[in-house]
Amino acid sequence: MRVLLVNPPPYQHVDEYDTPNFTRLGLACLAGALRAKSDATVEIVDAKFERLGYDAVRDRIQAFSPDLVGLTAFTNEIKPAAQVAAIAKELSPTIKTVVGGVHAGVLPEQTLDEFPAFDIVAIGEGEWTMVGLANALASGSALGDVDGLCLREDGGTKRTAPRQQTVDLDEFPLPAWDLLPHSERYLFMTQRGCAYNCNFCANPNGRLVRTRSVDHVMAELEQIIARGGKELYIGDELFTAEPKRTHRLLDAMIAADIGSKLRWSAQTHVNTVDRELFEKMKAAGSFICGLGIETGDPDIMKRMQKGSTIDRVMTARNAAREAKLPIEGLMIIGHPHETWETAMRTIDFAVKLNPDRPIIGVMVPYPGTQVAAMAARGEGGYKLLSTDWNDYAKQIGDALAFDNLSRRQLETLQMLAYVKVFVGNHRWREFASFVWKYRSEGWAVVRKILSGRMPQPVNPDETVAAPKASSTEQLPIVR
């Protein structure tokens, strides 16, 4: 078996996730499992990181001559993934195509109906599913015996038995980072799952928090450092979900002097942090911690089922300030029953909170979330504007508005929030730096507010700049 794993080109070049300076973790995990538990020959094409257009991806598929092409996609990536699958089918109809990721996993039958170029959907955690699929194709055995798939059958679709999640994440081999280009920045995970039930999240890894052992995490850290990694984004849903375990991991990182070799960021919940934990994170190399704040309106905060309160947010923010660890304030405009007044409460709270790095998005009704179900029914004041998956991006999207708030008003509130956090706290120099750093994204939002239209898709084979090295700039501590 020859298996080619592909991260497709972006639909547009607007934000940093369209042209990332890090490679795709999910594909490295799949490749590691395939190499360890199958006889497959595996390669990875990370079109986003490598800045490849569709013609270049076609050439790579043709050169490798795969039996199976595997793709992963978030909601706003599913159409580009389908285009890559179509290219593979054009090259050889015998190539099997499989797509995974949270979007296809939530909507497997719809994904197969909508995109004829996909043969198979992998539902849920993909490592052992991909191994089972590759082994079944190699041996000619029935794909119906492989757990965790949705298949085409007799003009319709059929799901196989659900695949149980792996509880002990140490069972997974380390990601096959050697199959991807070298990078100075890496996405990294120490655990999977989140016990909370936020109404805007599909919770793809489940509500049971499953962890890797400290030794397993440290082995991958050393591997990344040996590859020249200088910065990590720890993509755990909640890095401090189990504080005792987090302390053990941080102690190991401090003992290994990880902080002198690379810096890292993570995000977590305000209910699971305190000054001691923040201080230890900083000592272990953390340069910023994201806090999921979401709103400044107490009623919305209660309804969104995150388990936060305004007081608890301020307590966590003050603890971080005392530990001299910068924070990233993650907020959303567009919660159910949002009004101009509730959104302004969020903005005013953001000014009071004064996060070192504000991140304010507009709500996206991602499939599988309570918000998506409400939007589809017209509840919560929502108006669903689009079912085009290209419109489902957080920073610059076009999927959702309200009966009492137009899309233009939501985007105006988003821009106003950024301005007020910096200007309201007299952070003039940082505001200028922020505007310059995110000038592409900011200008795209301004143009969209003025024109009412989404940014145009990129030329399929447009050449863009190579990934930039990670910045070593240190964020100032907001007093």
Which pair of tokens denotes residue 323? 């530990």
pLDDT of residue 6: 98
Q: What is the pLDDT of residue 269?
A: 96
- Sign (positive or negative) of CA dihedral 337, 338, 339, 345: positive
CA-to-CA distance for 23 and 185, rounded, in angstroms? 8
> Is the CA virtual torsion 160, 162, 165, 166 positive or negative?
negative
- Residue corresponding to tokens 């990294």: 188
The answer to whether the Cα torsion of 88, 93, 95, 96 is positive or negative is positive
Phi, psi of 369 (to 5 degrees): -100, 160
With beta carbons less than 8 A apart as the criterion, state whether 152 and 181 touch.
Answer: no
**Nearest CA among 337, 331, 332, 333 for reference residue 382:** 337
Q: Could you count the other beta carbons within 10 Å of the beta carbon of residue 63?
A: 10
Parallel, antiparallel, or unpaired: how do β-strands 120-122 and 149-153 relate?
antiparallel
3-state secondary structure of 207: coil
Counting Cβ atoms within 10 Å, is residue 372 exposed (0-12), middle (13-18) or buried (19+)?
Answer: buried
Helices and strands (H, E) in the chain, number of each type: 17, 17
**Residue 449: partners with Cβ closer than 8 Å, 6 or more residues away:** 408, 411, 412, 415
Residue 22 DSSP class: B
The pLDDT value given to residue 479? 37
Confidence (pLDDT) at 472: 43
Tell me the C-alpha distance between 111 and 108, whole Å: 5
DSSP helix/strand/coil, 49: helix
Residue 357 is predicted with a pLDDT of 96
CA–CA distances in Å: residue 462 to residues 51, 55, 178, 334: 9, 10, 27, 34
- Contact by Cβ (8 Å): 474, 287: yes
Q: What's the rounded Cα separation, in Å, for the pair 283 and 298?
A: 34
Q: How far apart are CA 372 and CA 384, in angstroms?
A: 9
Amino acid residing at 191:
Q
Q: Which fold has domain 2-159?
A: Rossmann fold (3.40.50)
Is residue 172 a contact partner of residue 204, using CB atoms and an 8 Å limit?
A: no
Supply the pLDDT for residue 445.
82
Q: What is the pLDDT of residue 463?
A: 45
| Domain segments of the chain as ranges | 2-159, 326-455
- The burial of 82, by beta-carbon neighbours within 10 Å (0-12 exposed, 13-18 middle, 19 or more buried), is given as buried
Give me the average pLDDT of each 10-residue run along the chain (479 residues): 97 83 96 97 97 97 98 96 98 98 97 98 97 97 97 94 96 97 96 94 93 97 96 96 97 97 97 97 98 96 92 97 97 97 98 96 96 97 95 87 95 95 96 88 82 69 51 48
Are 162 and 148 a contacting pair, CB within 8 Å? yes
